[in-house]
Amino acid sequence: MDGYDTLAAFSIPANVSATLSLCQSPPCAGEVKACTTSLEGTVRSAMDMLGADKDGGGVWVVTSTVLRGGLPQ
């Protein structure tokens, strides 16, 4: 059973097939490509591309919260 048969067997949408094809294709000139399969893999790949571990630095996670009533006027 190839990958496309597997997608059909599990009723996975066709756009997933297109995404997998793009992921498996070679990168364009100058493109850095990483096809990850988990959130952790995506974060690690982004950190590697940014050079976050090379200088002993890291990645800072930043979020913001808007109060339920909205921003002050």
CA–CA distance, 33 with 28 (Å, rounded to integer)? 9
Please check the confidence at residue 28 and state whether its pLDDT lies above 70: yes
pLDDT of residue 29: 92
pLDDT of residue 55: 61
Q: Which residue has the higher pLDDT, 45 or 60?
A: 45
Cβ within 8 Å of residue 71, ≥6 positions away: none
pLDDT of residue 8: 78
Q: Are 27 and 33 in contact (CB under 8 A)?
A: yes
Q: Are 65 and 50 in contact (CB under 8 A)?
A: no
The mean pLDDT of 2-25, rounded to a whole number, is 77
Please check the confidence at residue 73 and state whether its pLDDT lies above 60: yes
Long-range contacts of 42-49 (CB under 8 A, 24+ apart): none
In which band, very low, low, confident or very high, does the pLDDT at 54 lie, cut at 50, 70 and 90? low
